[in-house]
Structures are given as C-alpha cells and as structure tokens.
C-alpha cells in the first residue's frame, strides 16, 4: 500500500478481508467451544479458544442441523471452515462448515450421547437381533482389501469349513469411511438372490485395532442405522476385544476379533463329522436297545399264551368221545327198535310193502309240485313280471309306478320301460 495515501475505512476493511480470505482459505482449527449461543434464526455464534487466544466463529443454521455433534461450551472440537472478516466490528471470524470432536474426552462424551440416543430409539434391543445361520454358503466381508484382517478371516474360514467369501472393499478409517462402510452393507443387502454375485447369508464388518479416532467411523450414525436395517445377519469385529464401538451394540453378534467373527460364522467341519458319527452310533445303540426291550417283552408275553396245539388236542379228544357215545347210543336205539318190531310180530315183507307205498305217494306229491313250479308255468307261455328290484308286479298300476320292468320268459329275461298305460289291462313295452 502507498505511504501517506489516504484510504477510506471501507477500502481498508476490504483490503484486510481480501488478504485474510486469500491467505487462509479453507482451514481446520482445533479449540474449545466457548460462549456458544443459538440465535432465533437458528444460526450459532461461538468462540474457539486455547490457552493463549480466542477466535470468533459462526455456524449457519443449515450446517448446524447436520453436524455430527451438539454445539456446547467446554467441548473440544476441530472446526473446518473459512476465515473471513466482519467489517461492521472490525473483527474476523471463522465460518464453520464442519465440526468434529477432538481429543479422547470429547469423543467419549459424544459416544455416550449417541449411545443413549440409539438406546432410546430401540436400535440395540435384543428383539431386533437376527439368528446367525448355522452353515452359511456365502459370507460377505466389509473391510479393507489389504492388511491382516481379511487374510485372517480367509485363513480361519478355510480351517473351519471352507465357504465362499465375497469381500466388499472399503475404507475403514478417515474421512468418508463411514459413508463407504454403510454403502457396502446396503450394497450386500441389495444384491438379488439369483444374481451372478450371490447375496451373502451373513455379513462380517471388520477392521483391526487402533485408537478411538481411528475406529470412529464405526460409531457414526449412518453405519449404525445401516446395520440395524440390514436384512442379512451382521457380525461386528472392530478393533481388539477391549474396544467397544456402537456397531457392536446394534450388530446381531459381536466378535472380539476378526478371527473370532469367522469362528462365529462357521462350525468346524471335523467337529461336525465327529458329532455326526457319535450321533449315528448313539442312534444305532438306541435302536438295538429298543429291539432288545421289545424282544424281551415278546418273550414275556409268549409265556402267558396257551399252547394252541394242546388245546386242539383236548377238544379233538372230547370230539372222539362224543362220536363214540353217539355211535353207542345209535346202536342201542336200533337194537331197541328191532326188539320192539320183533315183539309186535312185524315181518320183513310187510315192512318192504309199507316202504314202497310211501315211496309212490312221495313221487306223486313231487309230480304235483313240479307241475305248478315257475319253470313249468313259464313253459306254458306265461311270463313273470318284476320291477327293477326284482319284486313281483301284480297289476298295471304298480307297473306304471315302477317305470322299468323285468319280464322273465322260459328262455331269459327282457328289461323294459313303461311308455304309456292305455287302460287297466293294456300298456306298451319296448326294449332299452
């Protein structure tokens, strides 16, 4: 700037503004929130301070609504934004575009706030937990494609029960990692079941150990909600056993390590074979014992059954005795009758004559019966009329009611239907 030249206040303010904004551009500032106030418009006005200085800052309403944390005094944060000047007060300020917690204490405080929020919404309830399939055909893994984590998972799967593994490579720390992890979980869920890349039966979301800042993406809301909305059961395996992220509370199963996740996902094939052999042996033993019990029971029952052959022999003996007694009685009867005949003086020829007369009388009676039999009557030109149930029909009225008639001649039966009854004695018949 030229010496001894007069400048207007606006010129000086504009020059300072241009210098500040072009010199710093977009920056990240670490500090403690101090004097935070929310205006009626929804904008936030606050200061960031450290041990030696204070920096004024503003966060517009649209940005404040989407911040991952709540603006409040005493919270140590890293603010991302632009430095600008405010000519009305000859001051400068930071226009905040993003805000994130800084330091272990701030992260733990934010972690607890989110945890309580999700508990209140019911995202961690056991009622929403899904069963891990006993023997999945396909395992989906959301993790970094490089490093020890994916190698440990593959190695343990091969050792336990070789299954197909599909890896969805993604960032597991740093800016943008949470969005990519959530997108991977949703991507696996959106795979069609009949696609070339099959939809997994279970998901493992994993990464190795690290600081709380390194593991922070697994505490982000979009990751927690993606796991909650997943139709595929999810096993979380983030950090070491002592590390607990919010994803561990919402996942269907939490594993202490990535290797442990593979153990939760699959049984050991050799152990399954041993178990099956043991069950097979136990089944055979149980069947054998059951058959022995039935055999012993049958033997016990058979002891109480009467010997049928012996029973038959006893009845046969009784039958023979009765036949013998009957023969003796008949012989005695015949002998007594013979003696009676002898006593009254009947001669044999007289008996023969009597028998012959009875025989002739019987033949005459038989001839008379034969003359009036159905066959003989039919031979003389008569017919026998019955209804469909072969009951005799005696008159035209009953014939009309019957509808169908069976007329028996000497040489066969004719089935007929009633066409019309002309009078009490005459009607037409015709064959089916």
17 and 136 together in one domain: no
User: What is the C-alpha to C-alpha distance for residues 206 and 184, in angstroms, rounded to an integer?
Assistant: 12
Put residue 174 in one of left, alpha, beta given phi > 0 → left and psi -120 to 50 → alpha: left
172 vs 103: which has the higher pLDDT: 172
Q: Which domain holds residue 220?
A: 111-267
Helix (H, G, I), strand (E, B) or coil at 201: coil
Residue 75 φ then ψ, to 5°: -85, 125
From CA 140, how far away is CA 206, in angstroms rounded?
11
CATH code, 119? 3.40.50.261
Q: Where are the beta strands (DSSP E) in 239-370?
A: 253-254
Q: What is the pLDDT of residues 149-169, one digit of tens each?
A: 999 999 889 888 888 999 999
**Calpha distance 399→416 (Å, rounded):** 11
Tell me: do 164 and 237 sit in the same domain: yes
For residues 122 and 21, membership in a common domain is answered with no
Mean pLDDT computed over 385-393: 83
Residues 247 and 135 in one domain: yes
What pLDDT shows up at residue 116? 92
**Residue 425 pLDDT > 60:** no
**Contact between residue 27 and residue 79 where contact means Cβ atoms under 8 Å apart:** no
Report whether 9 contacts 86 (CB < 8 A). no
Distance CA 257, CA 263 (A): 10
Residue 307 pLDDT level (bands cut at 50, 70, 90): low
Yes or no: say if 89 and 76 are a contact pair by the CB < 8 Å rule.
no
CB 161 within 8 A of CB 266: yes
Same domain, 156 and 187: yes
Distance CA 416, CA 382 (A): 17
Token pair for 211: 């600081």
The pLDDT of residue 76 is above 70 = yes
* pLDDT number for residue 397: 82
For 139, counting Cβ atoms within 10 Å of its Cβ (0-12 exposed, 13-18 middle, 19+ buried), the class is buried
Please tell me which of 62-71, 112-121, 299-308 the model is most confident about, judged by mean pLDDT.
Answer: 112-121
Of the candidates 48, 79, 102, which is a domain's last residue?
102
- Each residue of 237-270: pLDDT tens digit? 998 877 888 999 999 999 998 888 988 888 877 7
More confident of the two residues 142 and 32: 142
Last-in-domain residue among 231, 249, 267: 267
Taking the C-alpha atoms of residue 402 and residue 405, their distance in angstroms, rounded to an integer, is 7
Does residue 33 contact residue 73 with C-beta atoms inside 8 Å?
yes
Count how many domains the chain has: 3
Does 347 reside within a domain?
A: no
Same domain, 86 and 143: no
**Dihedrals φ, ψ of 207, to 5°?**
-160, 160
The tokens describing 306, both together, are 């009467």
In sequence order, what are the beta bridge partners of 142? 168, 205
Query: pLDDT tens, 212-225?
Result: 888 889 999 999 99
| Distance (Å, whole) CA 351 – CA 278 | 96
57 neighbors 82 (Cβ within 8 angstroms): no
What is the Cα–Cα distance from 336 to 334, expressed in whole angstroms? 5
Q: How far apart are CA 173 and CA 375, in angstroms?
A: 114
**3-state class of 7 per DSSP?**
coil
């Amino acid at each position: 700037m030229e010496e001894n030249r007069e400048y207007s206040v606006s010129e000086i303010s504009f020059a300072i503004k241009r210098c500040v904004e072009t010199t710093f551009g977009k920056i990240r500032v670490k500090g403690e929130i101090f004097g935070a106030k929310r205006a009626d418009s929804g904008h936030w006005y606050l200061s960031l301070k450290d041990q030696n200085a204070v920096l004024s800052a503003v966060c517009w309403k649209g940005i404040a609504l989407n911040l991952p944390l709540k603006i409040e005094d005493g919270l140590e944060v890293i603010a991302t934004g632009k430095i600008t000047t405010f000519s009305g007060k000859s001051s400068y300020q930071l226009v905040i575009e993003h805000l994130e917690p800084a330091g272990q204490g701030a992260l733990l405080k934010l972690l607890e706030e989110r945890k309580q929020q999700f508990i209140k919404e019911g995202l961690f309830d056991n009622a929403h937990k899904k069963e891990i399939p006993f023997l999945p055909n396909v395992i989906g893994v959301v993790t970094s494609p490089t490093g020890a984590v994916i190698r440990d998972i593959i190695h343990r799967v091969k050792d336990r029960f070789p299954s197909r593994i599909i890896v969805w490579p993604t960032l597991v720390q740093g800016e943008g990692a949470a969005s990519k992890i959530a997108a991977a979980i949703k991507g696996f869920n959106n795979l069609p079941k009949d696609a070339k890349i099959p939809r997994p039966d279970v998901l493992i979301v994993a990464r190795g150990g690290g600081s709380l800042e390194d593991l922070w993406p697994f505490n982000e809301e979009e990751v927690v909600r993606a796991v909650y909305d997943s139709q595929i059961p999810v096993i979380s395996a983030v950090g070491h056993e002592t590390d607990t992220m919010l994803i561990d509370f919402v996942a269907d199963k939490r594993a202490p390590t990535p290797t442990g996740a593979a153990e939760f996902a699959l049984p050991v094939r050799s152990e399954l074979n041993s178990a099956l052999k043991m069950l097979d042996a136990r089944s055979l033993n149980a069947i054998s014992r059951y058959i022995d019990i039935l055999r012993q029971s049958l033997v016990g029952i058979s002891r109480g059954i009467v010997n049928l052959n012996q029973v038959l022999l006893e009845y046969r003996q009784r039958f023979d005795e009765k036949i013998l007694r009957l023969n003796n009685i008949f012989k005695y009867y015949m002998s007594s009758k013979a003696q009676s005949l002898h006593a009254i003086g009947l001669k044999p020829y007289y008996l023969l004559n009597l028998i012959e007369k009875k025989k002739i009388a019987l033949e005459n009676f038989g001839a008379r019966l034969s003359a009036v039999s159905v066959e003989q009557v039919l031979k003389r030109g008569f017919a026998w009329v019955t209804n469909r149930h072969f009951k005799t029909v005696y008159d035209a009225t009953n014939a009309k009611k019957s509808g169908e008639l069976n007329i028996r001649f000497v040489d066969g039966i004719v089935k007929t239907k009633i066409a019309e009854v002309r009078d009490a004695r005459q009607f037409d018949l015709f064959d089916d």
